[in-house]
């Protein structure tokens, strides 16, 4: 690496944007915008750039998600790494509570969000994905009121389009305990497991949407995901 000359240092210390002589170009950060100032011959040019174009310019590598698994509806990156949103259609699951035998229970459609090694899951009352649909608390224990999954002693993979299914299977197949089991069901507000056991005993094939508890702090799945990415990637 070459040492900077005194002329370059003097030019750097001038108020930006400056007239370029020794410096070939400079990148200015102006209220969440990026201004590229460069010299071409005797002329100076100014160009506003997006964060995407900057990332591409500095990495010199193409961005390709590869073939994404079914249900992945959104993907992106920020300063905390990759984030992924997966839609999971209504289905039946074999769940285990503590040391009891697995039981077959139905669940509504779910929205599963991963950011780095944090994962959130919410229920929705629609069988097909709609970002404007209401968000509900997932009727399962071991999930915090803000939707954040409690993994216990397990360590989930870093979120990506290649690992999102692995993370989901790791969560849904791990035995559940009594932690965070309240306020997840209208019928059994003290312990959602009691309602799930009742559904299994009656061999219900679909989860009753009227039993879901609405997420009060967010009007839609779209605003909820935006909120999660904001708190996971503070400015």
DSSP string, the chain: -PPPPHHHHHHHTSPSS---SS--EEEEEETTEEEEEEEETTEEEEEEE-HHHHHHHHH-------SPPTTEEEEEEETTEEEEEEEE-SEEEEE-BTTSPPEEEEE-EEEEEEETTEEEEEEES-SS--TTSPPEE-SSSSB-TTSBB--TT--PPPP-TTTHHHHHHHHHHSPB-STT-SSS-SSSTT-HHHHHHHHHHTT-SS--GGGPPB-TT-SSHHHHHHHHHHHHS--
pLDDT the model gives residue 91? 97
Closest by CA position to 146, among listed 176, 118, 104, 109: 118
pLDDT given for residue 39 in this prediction? 82
Mean pLDDT by 10 residues, the chain (235 residues): 56 68 80 80 83 72 75 87 94 91 96 96 96 96 97 93 95 95 97 96 96 93 90 57
- C-alpha to C-alpha distance for 126 and 137, rounded to whole angstroms: 14
Within 8 A by CB and 6+ apart from 12, the residues are: 4, 23
Q: Which of 53, 21, 62, 22 is nearest to 35 (CA)?
A: 53
**Is cis: bond before 49, omega within 30 of 0?**
no
Instruction: Quote the pLDDT of residue 42.
Output: 81
Ramachandran region, residue 11 (left: φ > 0; alpha: ψ -120 to 50; beta: rest):
alpha
Residue 13: how many CB atoms within 10 A of its CB? 8
């Amino acid at each position: 690496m070459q040492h900077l000359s005194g002329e370059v240092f003097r030019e750097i210390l001038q108020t930006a944007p400056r007239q370029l002589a020794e410096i070939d170009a400079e990148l200015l950060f102006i209220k969440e915008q990026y201004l590229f100032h460069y010299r071409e011959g005797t002329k100076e040019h100014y160009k506003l750039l997006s964060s995407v174009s900057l990332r591409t310019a500095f990495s010199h590598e193409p961005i390709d998600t590869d073939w994404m698994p079914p249900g992945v509806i959104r993907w992106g990156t920020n300063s905390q790494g990759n984030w992924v949103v997966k839609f999971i259609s209504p289905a039946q699951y074999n769940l285990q509570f503590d040391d009891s035998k697995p039981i077959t229970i139905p669940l509504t459609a779910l929205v599963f969000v991963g950011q780095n090694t944090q994962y959130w899951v919410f229920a929705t009352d629609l069988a097909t994905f709609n970002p404007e649909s209401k968000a509900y608390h997932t009727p399962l224990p071991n999930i915090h009121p803000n939707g954040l999954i409690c993994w216990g002693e397990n360590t989930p993979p870093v979120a990506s389009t290649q690992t999102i299914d692995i993370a989901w299977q790791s969560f849904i197949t791990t035995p559940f305990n009594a932690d965070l089991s309240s306020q997840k069901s209208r019928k059994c507000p003290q312990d959602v497991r009691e309602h799930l056991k009742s559904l299994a005993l009656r061999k219900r094939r679909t989860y009753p949407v009227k039993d879901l508890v609405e997420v009060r702090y967010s009007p839609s799945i779209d605003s909820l995901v935006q909120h999660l990415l904001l708190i996971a990637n503070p400015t």
